[in-house]
Amino acid sequence: MQKIESIKECGGYLNRYTHRSAVNNCEMTFSVYLPPQAEAGPVPALYWLSGLTCNDDNARTKAGAQRYATEHGIAIVFPDTSPRGDDVADEADRYDLGKGAGFYVTATEAPYSANYNMYEYVTDELPALLEAELPLLAGIKSVSGHSMGGHGALICALKNPDGYRSVSAFSPICNPINCCWGKGCFTAYLGRDESTWGDYDATELVKNGARVSNILIDSGLADEFYDEGQLLPENLKAACDAVGQPLELRLQAGYDHSYHFIASFIGEHIAYHAAALKAG
């Protein structure tokens, strides 16, 4: 783990690191915002998972989250969205498959299975590394994300209900087995046996018994991908309503899919996570 950048902001430090990932079999880059409270001792962490085409840099420069992290005394971890490197399989002519589009699954199909293991990376390898090397409280973490990363946040929490204190998402892909983005990536990464896809679909996980204490989702009603049927939050709401899984789905009029939308509500999400991270 090598620090390659450190910027002071909002009283803390936004640091960037590289390390060799064993599960992804490549060099990975990630960023961590450590609030000033971390100088006095370990703090809880919020993991932010970004969307298609992004890396660790998008949210840390556009969301405006760091000042709220300082207010509440929590760290924010910004992983990359996929493995990287010249030897990593890619679809150079597509933005929605390959590099920048890891979809937070464990790939089972060649050539992607050699590197595309983002689920293990964000749930196991990266937290273990950071809790050993940085002033983060062991096991005290929450997860959020945007679009593909919102999908990632939902499945990470639903598949590991004891691993995260809280979960939220902005414009998440809620039912990927039924949208074009999900079908394309799942076919490539997981194979054509669609019976295996539900393991990485929040709606299907809820239908099959996965539970968390609460889910907070914001989606914009002026979001082009909402209109195109890529996000399908109503499918998740129907699944949650059917089994009594608490879900606060806020459909925000006039907001799109961009970081302008995220920046408008990120403070509320961080306050929501901070309350859970500091409870008990």
The CATH number of the domain where 80 resides is what? 3.40.50.1820
State the chain's mean pLDDT as an integer.
97
Q: Which of 72, 146, 151, 257 is catalytic?
A: 257
Provide the whole-model pTM: 0.97
Q: Which of 80, 223, 269, 273 is catalytic?
A: 223
Whether 53 has a pLDDT exceeding 90, the answer reads yes
Active site residue 257: yes
Active site residue 147: yes
Q: Domain range spanning residue 40?
A: 2-278
Helix, strand, coil percentages in the chain from 3-state DSSP, rounded to 5:
40, 25, 35
Tell me: the pLDDT tens digits for 213-223?
999 999 999 99
Q: Which of 147, 166, 168, 219 is catalytic?
A: 147
Structure tokens at 42: 């370990």
- pLDDT at residue 115, rounded to an integer: 98
Classify strands 75-78 and 43-49 as parallel, antiparallel or unpaired: parallel
Active site residue 50: no
Whether 277 has a pLDDT exceeding 70, the answer reads yes
The pLDDT-based confidence of 253 (bands split at 50, 70, 90) is very high
- pLDDT at residue 280, rounded to an integer: 67
Q: Does a cis peptide bond (omega within 30 degrees of 0) precede residue 111?
A: yes
Beta strands in 93-225 (DSSP E): 136-145, 168-170, 216-220
- pLDDT at residue 25, rounded to an integer: 98
Tell me: the pLDDT tens digits for 92-128?
899 999 999 999 999 999 999 999 999 999 999 999 9
**Domain total of the chain:** 1
Mean pLDDT of 200-218: 98
Give the percent of the chain with pLDDT over 70.
Answer: 100
The pLDDT-based confidence of 24 (bands split at 50, 70, 90) is very high
Q: CA–CA separation, 261 vs 220, rounded Å?
A: 7
